[in-house]
Amino acid sequence: MASSTRGCRMAAPDMAARRTTVASGLASKLARLLRDPFTVAGLTIYAVLIIVAVFADLLMTHDPGEILFRANGRVAANQPPSAAYLLGTTNLGRDVYSQLIGGSRIALVVGFTAAICVAAFGTLIGLLAGYFGGKLDAILMRLADLALAIPFLPFAIVLAGFSRSSTTNVIVAVVLLLWPNTARVIRAQVLTVKERAYVEAARVTGASDARILFVHVAPNILPLTFLYGSVAIGWAILTEAAVSFVGFGDAKNISWGYMLQDAFVSQALSRGSWHWFVPPGLCIILVVIAGFFIARGAEDVLFPKLRS
């Protein structure tokens, strides 16, 4: 048993010596990640999303909120896709394509802000609960149970409805509800890392709790934080879409979810205006799937033993 682990450890001299530690570990993991076609697909979707959101102003052909008129002075409502309106128009004469491009910005802001907050908050709580244990652990984990027990969508709607409907509130709702998943997994990982001899070595050589936690424990669970963060992006975008779809979104920001709601309320489905509701739906699906693809690939790299 002992001899086999020893064998494995020693049989890895091919890794080139590198100076920075965390970065090099991540770099080698990233290299392996990039060999997985699913991960590459997921990362590509995210990359496209970011590029589109950043250059949205250049890509949009119209103002998403502007009511467009035809040459004859009538509202350009319910236009099919054409050179002037790439994805047609809505029943109020707004350009679908420009709304879709503008929606990527909201998706990006909501998705990434929420994901970063979820990952940061969840990781911190998980670290503290796992490392210190005892009463602190008990309190934090009961809070996590409580948050997990709250049904997701109703809570988001209530929160968005009680305060003003704003994108910020959607983000807050996502963070409040998603941190426990991350915190629990991080905590479990901290519990194992904490038992490693090198953590005890840090203690016996005089390291403070903060130093042990952030220098010796945290870097070894950082990959998990990334994993959960990437899943949270999809969840946050999905939640924003759902909240907007049921009509509690921020009316000033035309998101993909808002577009779906607009299309639904205007009976675009029954009129067969696929050019209106398919693109935002597809975008939501793609971005959420991208999160899971990346998570899937990351899981392979982080926990290779799960798959033979």
Partner 1 sequence: MTAAQTSAHPLVAASGLTKRFAAPRSLSDMFSGHQPHVHAVDGIDLRIARGESVGLLGESGCGKTTTGRLLLKLTEPSAGSIAFDGVAIDTLKGNALTAFRKRAQLVFQNPFDALNPRFTIERVLAEPLVNTGVERASHSDKVEKALAQVRLPPLSRFEGLFPHQLSGGQLQRIVLARALVLEPDFIVADEPVSMLDVSVRAGVLNVMREVRATLGLAALYISHDLALVRYVCSTTLVMYLGKIVEQGPTADLLKTPLHPYTRALVNAVPVPRVDQSHEPLPIIGNVSDARGQPRGCRFRERCPMAVARCAEEEPPLRDCGQGRRVACHLA
Partner 2 sequence: MSNQPVLDVRDLSVEYRTARGVVRAVDGISFSVPKGAILGLVGESGCGKTTVARSITGVLHQSARIAGGELLLHGRDLVSGPPKAWLDARWREISFVPQSAMNSLDPVYRIGNQIEEVLIHRGGKTRAAARARASTLFEMVGLNPGRLDEYPHQFSGGMRQRVAIALALALNPSLVIADEPVTALDVIVQRQILDVIRDLQRRLSLSMILVTHDISVVAYLCDQVVVMYAGRVVESGGTRDVLERPRHPYTMGLTNAFPDLESAAHDLVPIDGSPPDLSQSLAGCRFQPRCPFALPVCSSDDPQTKTAGSGTRFACHRHADSDMLRRQSRDIATWQRPQ
Provide the binding-site residues for partner 1, judged by CB under 8 A. Answer: 2, 5-6, 9-10, 12-13, 15, 17-19, 21-22, 25, 196-198, 200-208, 211, 216, 219-220
The DSSP code for 72 is: T
Is residue 158 exposed (0-12), middle (13-18) or buried (19+ Cβ within 10 Å)? middle
Choice between 25 and 81, CB closer to partner 2: 25
**If contact means CB under 5 to 8 A according to the sort of partner, which of partner 1, partner 2, none does residue 146 touch?**
none
Q: How far is CA 124 from each of CA 38, 94, 107, 121, 265, rounded to the nearest angstrom?
A: 29, 44, 25, 5, 42
> Does 14 interact with partner 2 (rule: CB under 8 A)?
yes
Q: How far is the CB of 190 from partner 1 (least distance, A)?
A: 15
Q: Does 6 participate in binding partner 2 (rule CB under 8 A)?
A: yes
Specify whether the CB–CB gap between 112 and 233 falls below 8 A.
Answer: yes
Q: Which does 198 bind (CB under 5 to 8 A by kind): partner 2, partner 1, none?
A: partner 1
Q: State the nearest-atom distance from the C-beta of 10 to partner 1, in Å.
A: 6
Instruction: Return the exposure string of 18-49: e unless at least 16 CB atoms fall within 10 Å of the residue's CB, then b.
Output: eeeeeeebbeeeeeebeebebbebbbebbeeb
Q: Min. distance of Cβ 187 from partner 2 in angstroms? A: 27
307 near partner 2, judged by CB under 8 A: no
Minimum distance from residue 200 beta carbon to partner 1 (Å): 6
| Rounded CA separation 154/149 (Å) | 12
Check if the beta carbon of residue 278 is closer than 8 Å to that of residue 286: no
**CB of 25: closest distance to partner 2 in angstroms?**
17
Residue closer to partner 2 by CB (options 32, 194) is 32
> Binds 134, which of partner 1, partner 2, none (CB < 5 to 8 A, cut-off by type)?
none
Pick one of partner 2, partner 1, none as the site partner of residue 7 (Cβ within 5 to 8 A by kind). Answer: partner 2
Alpha carbon separation from 23 to 20, 155, 241 (Å, rounded): 6, 39, 35
Helices (H), 206-273: 209-211, 218-245, 256-265, 268-271
- Residue ranges in contact with partner 2 by CB under 8 A: 1-4, 6-7, 10-11, 13-14
